Structure 1
Amino acid sequence: MPLHWIILCVGALALIGYATGRARALASADGNVRLLHSLPGYYGANVAMTTIVPAMGVLVIWALIQPLVVNALVLSDLPASAVAPGSSADLVMSDVRRVADGLTEAIAQGVTTQSAVAVLDVTVTDLRALLGSVGVAVGSNVSNDVLQLARSYRALNATGNWMMTLVVLAIALAGFVWAARQADRDYRARNTVEKGMKAVLVAAASIAILTTLGIVLSLVFSTIEFFGLYPAKEFFFSLTWAPSFGGGSELGLLPLLWGTLYISLIALLVAVPIGLFAAIYLAEYASPKLRAFAKPTLELLAGIPTIVYGLFALLTVGPLLMRVFGDDGLGWMQAGTAVMTAGLVMGIMLIPFVSSLSDDIINSVPQSLRDGSYGLGATRSETIKQVILPAALPGIAGAILLAASRAIGETMIVVLGAGAAARLSMNPFDAMTTVTAKIVSQLTGDADFASPEALVAFALGMSLFVITLGLNVLALYIVRKYREQYE
């Protein structure tokens, strides 16, 4: 049974459980709500919660574990002859999954049948024709061994899905029956529901922590594997980035890190003055009506997808800069893709981050400080310069650091606006690239995760993670350390 049908069945059973629990509780009290320990809704919620929560927990765990188990079982049957020289088991498994998905699609479209797939005995050419009829491309290294493994992969997945369906529905039904039998007027349903909801909230809060931990561990283990294949000294101190999947790669971090910091610096030089001045005007000078219109309008910039900013850099800002600084102008710029192009557009993207956070921080400065300054004869501009901005400076610094971490992690604007050249240059009109852009390029296509050229993406990601984490921690430290002085 498809996953969404399982969820719908469990959800429908939970709704029935809610009505059943509520009705049984009222029936046990002869319809007199005052005789119940808890409100009727708590009895229904107890049945619904006992029905859906354990079943959904098992469903999530099963859905996460089943692919790992299936892959392990299929890999155990993988003959050595199926792995071509220069290839790896991961690439073979990628072909196996693609063929299995293609066979499933062929069955869904009626090109072939389930029974035909189970006994299919065709050549690789016939297989390509079958899968090509449903729009699935098969690589040239697919063999009959891969076809057999794809059948096994489909069969194991089908068996696992049916077992998952039976187990999840059985758990949901058992929870339904057990909780419905407890729906009696003396049962402390409210206490049980509140404890259950507390557990659900704790689990939901733990997801963010566990997700962060999983991301960090995956980066750490892959980075350690990379440094086992490539010297850490060359990665951190080499001035050349020249990956080659045929061997002899030079994977120096410094050119990518320089491009990242250079573009981010230009973006901050654009975003910080404009955003800060906009925040000061909205907080101290704008009328309430103008503020109510201008602030949401300014914050709309934060909702524009970054790919749109990238296209804006490629199609508008780059050609505009070429007319001024290119061969027809000052002659400083060779192409529209350059550090300046990406930096200007990224700065525009960061304006709402700086302005919105700075506006909130300026408004949090106590009115008593303003009144005291005005009482001493200071003008509005003097009050802003000598009282409000110094009081809000720690928060503004934190906002700038958060915007910097956002700029360092940007990808699409860099890919479309800055070019792909990894170089160390001070010229802002040269094409450069960043860490995030190279992570994308190194993992594009069927990457062999046993090679340093693919694993370097994880080392780059780990380096970027450490930098942005440091900026975020520094921003939070500054804000928390000095905030109490002005409360």
Structure 2
Amino acid sequence: MSLGYILLALLVLSVIGYVLGRSKAVSSAGGDGRRLHSLPGYYGWNVVLATLAPSLLVLVVWLFVQPAYINTQVASLISQETVAKSSLDLVLSDVLRVADGLDVAVESGALSQEKAQALSAGSVDVRALLGDLGVALASEVTDEILHAAQAYRDINASGEFYRAILVLAVAIAGFALAIARTHKDFRARNVVEQAIKWILIAAASIAILTTLGIILSLIFNTVEFFKIYPASEFFFGTVWSPSFGGGSELGILPLIWATLYISFIALAVAVPIGLFAAIYLSEYATPAVRAIAKPLLEVLAGIPTIVYGLFALLTVGPLLVDVLGNDGLLGVGWMQGASSVFTAGFVMGIMLIPFVSSLSDDIINAVPQAMRDGSLGLGATHSETVKQVILPAALPGIVGAILLAASRAIGETMIVVLGAGAAARLSVNPFEAMTTVTAKIVSQLTGDADFASPEALVAFALGMTLFVITLGLNIIALYIVRKYREQYD
């Protein structure tokens, strides 16, 4: 039974359980709901939870365990000679591809009933069968791989059968147990609320464990990278020149410099505009203007970054060349191409405006009204109140907002990929093309490079470095914002 049918069966069983649980509870109270310990709906939900929770838990565990078990069993069928010629992962991918082709042929009805039965019994020439279906096999797909693909299909089919039996058996057992203990004195509300509490704890744990898994993945692969490449050359090298044939120079300094340079330009654009917009919206704009201007400003935050990247590549970059190029309007010759640090930084700054303005606006509005009234009561003008009272009071929160925007700028990818270029260099000229850490993470993990090579593993070292930088900025920002809230809440 496929996964979709299992979920449909569980859904139908849970709906029936809700109706039966509710009706049995009401019947045990003689039709008088006031004699029930809990509301009638709680008894129905108790049956639903008893049906779904254990069965879904078994299903999730099975979905994680079965692929690993099948890969282990199939790998035992592959000889060491075959693995030595390539790698086990590549061989298993070939096995899976052939098995999927056979499954598609069976499900689409391309096979006759006799051939489908012969395929299930393992008494058919798989290579000849795929040839009859017009499926071309590469020369490296050996008879051993075909035999392993057939074994994969058999084990997978058996696993799906036993999975359906076990999941449905657990669901029916939970259903029967919940119905059996449903009566008017059963504390259904307590059981349901406790179950909901554990579901919420599980949801929070998933978020925490996902974060932990990301961190551990970065750490372990970074350690593997530093086992085969010196850490001193990585952190202090000034040349970035990966070569998948060997002899790579993987110094991170040019990438860090370009990342910080672009982020600085982005903040130089976003902070003044965003802060001034926040001051206007919170202190000067009428309610009608604010109701229109603030949503329009925040639309910028909803635009995908790939759109900003295309805007940098197709509009801002060529426009800067037309103004600052050799044949441009000013004729200064600063821009030699559309891709540059300034192009990416300027467009990224536009993207960050809503981050700075929205956070600053909320922080300025959180300043107590009594401070405004006191300043105005002492004879200060509105502008003097903003400059000498409101902004100093909101300054810690504004600094936190700027640091959060800086973290967002440092981690941006698509804008710098399309707008900044691909050259790794140390230069102070903002009109030259450079590249950042995020752009190189993308480039190093694309292609057919050996995953165990330093040229591929360096992406994790880059990611770990970027993670530490952004984590530090976030911690500082949160500390400042928390201090601000403690002072003015």
Give the TM bin, normalised by the shorter chain: over 0.9
Q: Could you tell me whether the CA contact under 8 Å between 1:241 and 1:255 is conserved in 2? A: yes
Q: Distance in 2 between matches of 1:460 and 1:127?
A: 46
Give the structure 2 partner of residue 154 of structure 1: 153
**Matching of residue 462 in structure 1 with residue 461 in structure 2:** no
**Matching of residue 270 in structure 1 with residue 274 in structure 2:** no
Give the stretch that moved more between structures: 153-162 or 283-292. Answer: 153-162
Give the structure 2 partner of residue 453 of structure 1: 455
**Matching of residue 10 in structure 1 with residue 10 in structure 2:** yes
What pairs with 1:244-255 in structure 2 (closer than 5 Å)?
Answer: 244-255=243-254
Q: Distance in 1 between matches of 2:465 and 2:128?
A: 44
Q: Distance in 2 between matches of 1:131 and 1:296?
A: 55
Q: Distance in 2 between matches of 1:88 and 1:444?
A: 19
Give the structure 1 partner of residue 342 of structure 2: 340
- State the Cα deviation string for residues 1-41 of structure 1 (Å, max 9, x = none): 33233222212211111111001101111111111111100
- State the Cα deviation string for residues 298-331 of structure 1 (Å, max 9, x = none): 1111111111111111111111111112231221
- State the Cα deviation string for residues 383-426 of structure 1 (Å, max 9, x = none): 11111111111111111111111111111111111111111111
Give the stretch that moved more between structures: 275-284 or 101-110. Answer: 101-110
How far did 1:117 drift?
A: 5.1
**Matching of residue 121 in structure 1 with residue 122 in structure 2:** no
Q: Could you tell me whether the CA contact under 8 Å between 1:362 and 1:389 is conserved in 2? A: yes
Q: Could you tell me whether the CA contact under 8 Å between 2:127 and 2:146 is conserved in 1? A: no
Give unmatched runs, 5+ long, in structure 1.
Answer: 133-137
Q: Distance in 2 between matches of 1:399 and 1:223?
A: 31
Q: Could you tell me whether the CA contact under 8 Å between 1:124 and 1:144 is conserved in 2? A: no
User: What amino acid sits opposite 1:28 in the alignment?
Assistant: S
Give the structure 1 partner of residue 323 of structure 2: 324
Given the superposition, is the C-alpha separation of residues 173 and 125 from structure 1 closer, same or farther in structure 2, using an over 3 Å criterion? closer
User: What amino acid sits opposite 1:301 in the alignment?
Assistant: L
**Matching of residue 184 in structure 1 with residue 183 in structure 2:** yes
What pairs with 1:7-406 in structure 2 (closer than 5 Å)?
Answer: 7-83=7-83, 85=85, 87-112=86-111, 114-115=116-117, 119=122, 121=125, 130-131=134-135, 141-329=140-328, 330-406=332-408
Q: Distance in 1 between matches of 2:155 and 2:480?
A: 54
> Secondary structure at 1:261's aligned position in 2?
helix
Q: Distance in 1 between matches of 2:434 and 2:130?
A: 47
> Secondary structure at 1:83's aligned position in 2?
helix
Structure 2 residue corresponding to 1:441, chosen from 443, 452, 458: 443
Q: Could you tell me whether the CA contact under 8 Å between 1:19 and 1:44 is conserved in 2? A: yes
Q: CA RMSD of the aligned region, Å?
A: 2.1
Give the structure 2 partner of residue 471 of structure 1: 473
Q: Percent identity?
A: 67
User: What amino acid sits opposite 1:150 in the alignment?
Assistant: A
- State the Cα deviation string for residues 199-222 of structure 1 (Å, max 9, x = none): 111111111111111111111111
Given the superposition, is the C-alpha separation of residues 430 and 139 from structure 1 closer, same or farther in structure 2, using an over 3 Å criterion? farther
How far did 1:125 drift?
A: 12
- State the Cα deviation string for residues 370-391 of structure 1 (Å, max 9, x = none): 0111011111111111111111
> Secondary structure at 1:378's aligned position in 2?
coil
Q: Could you tell me whether the CA contact under 8 Å between 1:394 and 1:483 is conserved in 2? A: no
User: What amino acid sits opposite 1:195 in the alignment?
Assistant: Q
Q: Distance in 1 between matches of 2:147 and 2:343?
A: 52
